[in-house]
């Protein structure tokens, strides 16, 4: 039973345009959400996070939106650059847990020049 | 600054052989430590986590075990590897709940 779902395995975007990566979750106890970026043969790199008391968090070109009623979050990258091409993982942790993260299966983003 | 070291980067082992993967963290004290596995075409699966020396929690039943002999050292082991143990193993540290995990560069394990 997947608690964190990334339904799009891949996404292709033109350089300079917006990339929107989506993530859905089923566990209403999740209260902390993160996005990671991963290149092949490397560990995931933390990008941005959001707690459940917010609905938006912005860091440079990256913005995460959280819709608690829909149990949905998204990552917007504007403008997209070829170096953004990687696999993006959505993750969540549950209130009261030790902080261990539950990950989605990832979305491979390709930004074309 | 904090750094995490994980080795080896790649490993090829025969079925039935033992396994020991080591992870160490520098620049922080009493971190939460994690072992995750990424199997081909799948997401990151939590295997073990530890909130302190000698404290290990397992998330899934499996052929693997973990130990934390020192505050900043986390070891993943197996007595006899199975083909299904092949995958990309990632160690991570965290300063506490509601904070990001920071991952090492991973170990690519191939069991033949």
How big is the A-B interface in CB pairs under 8 Å?
64
- Chain B residue numbers with beta carbons less than 8 Å from the beta carbon of A99 are 32, 94, 96-99, 101
- Tell me the average pLDDT across B89-107: 91
Q: What is the mean pLDDT of residues A19-26?
A: 98
The DSSP output letter for A101 is P
pLDDT single digits (tens) B3-13: 999 999 999 99
- Whether the CB of A30 is below 8 Å from some CB of chain B: the reply is no
pLDDT band, residue A2 (cuts 50/70/90):
confident
Which pLDDT score, from 0 to 100, does residue A13 have? 98
Mean pLDDT value across residues B18-46 = 90
Who's near A90: CB < 8 A, 6+ residues apart? A4, A6, A21, A23, A33, A34, A35, A73, A75, A103, A104
Q: Which of A9, A44, A88, A107 to mutate to test the interface with B (most CBs of B within 10 A)?
A: A44
The residues, ordered by sequence, that sit 6+ positions from A25 with a Cβ below 8 Å of its Cβ are A3, A4, A5, A33, A71, A72, A73, A92
pLDDT: which is higher, B42 or B74: B74
No. of H helices and E strands in chain B?
A: 0, 11
Smallest Cα distance from B97 to chain A, Å: 4
pLDDT at B61: 67
* CB contact set of B35 (below 8 Å; sequence gap of 6+): B23, B46, B47, B48, B49, B64, B66, B74, B76, B89, B90, B91
Closest residue, chain A, to B40 (C-alpha): A105
Task: Give the model's pLDDT for residue A110.
Answer: 98
For residues B26-48, average pLDDT: 89
Chain A residue closest in CA terms to B106: A43
């Amino acid at each position: 039973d997947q608690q964190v779902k990334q339904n799009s395995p891949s996404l292709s975007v033109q350089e300079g345009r917006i990339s929107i990566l989506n993530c859905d979750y089923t566990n209403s106890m999740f209260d902390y959400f993160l996005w990671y970026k991963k290149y092949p043969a490397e560990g995931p790199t933390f990008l941005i996070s959001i707690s459940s008391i917010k609905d938006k968090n912005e860091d440079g070109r990256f913005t995460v939106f959280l819709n608690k009623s829909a149990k949905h979050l998204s990552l917007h990258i504007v403008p997209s650059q070829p170096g953004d091409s990687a696999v993006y993982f959505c993750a969540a942790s549950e209130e009261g847990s030790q902080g261990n993260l539950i990950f989605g299966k990832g979305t491979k983003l390709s930004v074309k020049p | 600054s904090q750094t995490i070291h994980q080795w080896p980067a790649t490993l090829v082992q025969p079925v039935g052989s033992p396994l020991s993967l080591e992870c160490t963290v520098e620049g922080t004290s009493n971190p939460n430590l994690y072992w995750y596995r990424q199997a081909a075409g799948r997401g990151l699966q939590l295997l073990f986590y530890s909130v302190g020396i000698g404290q290990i929690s397992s998330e899934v039943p499996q052929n693997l075990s973990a130990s934390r002999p020192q505050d900043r050292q986390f070891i993943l082991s197996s007595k006899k590897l199975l083909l299904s143990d092949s995958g990309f193993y990632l160690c991570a540290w965290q300063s506490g709940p509601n904070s990001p995990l920071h991952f090492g560069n991973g170990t690519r394990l191939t069991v033949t």
